[in-house]
Amino acid sequence: AVTGSGKTLAFLIPLVQKLLRLSEPTKKHHVAAIIVSPTRELAAQIHTVLVNLLQFHEASAEILPHLKGDEKRPSTTVPAIVPQLLVGGTTTTAQDLSFFLRHSPNVLISSPGRLVELLSSPHVHCPQSSFEVLVLDEADRLLDLGFKPDLQKILSHLPKQRRTGLFSAS
């Protein structure tokens, strides 16, 4: 399918619905969903589509402007989605961890290598009680490009019981 046809929304809308239907907000420093992409560019594109989608959810939309600054984001009593883009070349691992600790995002959108680095931190939690969804976008390319060792490391940090979506445009 062509670029701009809405393939990304095919997994983002169900993911957003699942997380917003939770009975309470995700705990601090707990991750509810992870989207893995084979390239930085695709990860950035997915992040942009998610941020645009979240403009339609009041609690999430109110948090988004706070993610650009250094102050902590406001807390919320209702489920909200707080995304973090993790890609090499734009920020350092230390900056990514600092953002994670400050804003406590619950949805990570990442290329495999940077995600492995963040998940190896003792401050990042993906317990069965909080973690809901893993999406592997361009799953065939992730394996073709040699990311299998990174994917195995990522899976080792996630609960065995979870929803996993494998997506591919081809």
pLDDT at 106: 96
Which CATH number goes with the domain that contains 130? 3.40.50.300
What gap in Å lies between CA 164 and CA 35, rounded to an integer?
10
Q: Who's near 151: CB < 8 A, 6+ residues apart?
A: 36, 112, 136, 142, 143
Q: In terms of residue numbers, what domain contains 42?
A: 7-13+29-166
Residues 34, 11: contact at Cβ < 8 Å?
Answer: no
Q: Is residue 151 part of a domain?
A: yes
pLDDT of 6-15, one tens digit each? 889 999 999 9
Q: Is residue 97 part of a domain?
A: yes
Dig out the tokens for 138 from the structure: 């361009």
Q: Is residue 23 part of a domain?
A: no
Q: Is residue 152 part of a domain?
A: yes
pLDDT of 134-154, one tens digit each? 999 999 999 989 999 999 999
Number of domains in the chain: 1
